[in-house]
Amino acid sequence: MRKKNKSPYVTIKRRDNERAKRHQRESRRGFHGWKKFLAILLIVLVVLGLGGFAALNIYAADYYRADDTATAILDAQYNMDVQDDYIVLWGNEKAQDYDASQATIFYPGGKVEYTAYLPLLQRLQESGMTVVLVKMPYNLAFFGVNTADEIMAAYPEITTWNLAGHSLGGVAACMYYSSNSNKINRVALLGSYIYGDVNRDNVEVIYGTEDGLLDTSKILDTDNVVKILGGNHAQFGSYGEQDGDGDATLSSEYQQRVAATAMMLWFIDGEVYN
């Protein structure tokens, strides 16, 4: 019997599917790799006892501090509720996209003072989005992956929740989302890529083209991606330069404005900013 010629479209589609599966396996390995790392770290701390915790405290004490711009926002506390472990920035009720039933939880980057993200998140607030900025133990989101549960329980009147994170905070956000996808509307990752077995269609990746810390080979062509030309890794927050990062060719204010616009469009309409 004569064989039919295969459609080139089918071949391309099969290659795309195989590539997506390969990246999913790699992301899953990365996800479980981080879980293994945390398990080992906890065992070491238990074995070492107080000495281990003292070492962790010494390690965590070396972190990036929020700059004067972020500190000024915290001092003003405009339309803001400051709690011990998180800060709520209440959405601007006069904004066109204000929705009292929707909010976003934000996980900060590793070893970065959480208030350094206030300038970025204030832009979301001004656009009508209520944002909860989480303070992580030791400034490491891996120690507070499930903090989103506590936030959502504290504000039952909010029925639609988004989740976002920067750098290692994005990893923790994916870790949470992989086990709680039914609780989250959409996810946005800043300077990070997708980890674990998650619905990639519900995740947006935002990064700067001059990012010196992000492994962009982990980002798929089919992912929802926003590239900020000239942006780098650190300028999503307001904490100065970061070791190993690239040199940005635009201001942190501009990078944060683009990032906030992209997140708002994604959370409200599910559209990718370009």
CATH of the domain at 235: 3.40.50.1820
Q: Is residue 233 part of a domain?
A: yes
Nearest-angstrom CA–CA distance, 108 and 271: 24
Structural domain count of the chain: 1
* Residues 6+ positions from 246 with CB-CB distance below 8 Å: 208, 210, 211, 212, 232, 233
Read off the pLDDT band of 28 (50, 70, 90): very low
pLDDT digits (tens, 9 = 90+) for 116-159: 999 999 999 999 999 999 999 999 999 999 999 999 999 999 99
Instruction: Report whether 177 contacts 187 (CB < 8 A).
Output: yes
The pair phi, psi for residue 200, each rounded to 5°, is -65, -25
Q: Is residue 226 part of a domain?
A: yes
Q: What distances in angstroms separate CA 195 from CA 20, 24, 122, 214, 238, one per listed residue?
A: 13, 8, 27, 13, 25
What strands lie across the sheet with 224-228, from one edge to the other? 80-82, 86-89, 130-134, 102-107, 160-166, 187-190, 203-208, 224-228
On the question of pLDDT at 37 being above 60, the answer is no
On the question of pLDDT at 9 being above 90, the answer is no
Q: Is residue 231 part of a domain?
A: yes
Q: Is residue 117 part of a domain?
A: yes
Q: Is residue 132 part of a domain?
A: yes
* Residues 6+ positions from 242 with CB-CB distance below 8 Å: 64, 213, 233, 234
Query: What is the number of other CB atoms lying within 10 angstroms of the CB of residue 61?
Result: 10
On the question of pLDDT at 49 being above 80, the answer is no
Q: Is residue 131 part of a domain?
A: yes
pLDDT at 173: 98
Average pLDDT, the chain: 87
pLDDT digits (tens, 9 = 90+) for 167-219: 999 999 999 999 999 999 999 999 999 999 999 999 999 999 999 999 999 99
* Residues 6+ positions from 229 with CB-CB distance below 8 Å: 208, 209, 249, 250
Q: Return the higher-pLDDT residue of 18 and 213.
A: 213
Q: Is residue 187 part of a domain?
A: yes
pTM of the predicted structure, to 2 decimals: 0.83
* Residue-number span of the structural domain to which 131 is assigned: 58-269
DSSP H or E stretch at residue 172 = helix 168-179
Comparing CA positions, the residue from 119, 92, 95, 93 lying closest to residue 106 is: 119
Q: Is residue 13 part of a domain?
A: no
The pair phi, psi for residue 231, each rounded to 5°, is -80, 160
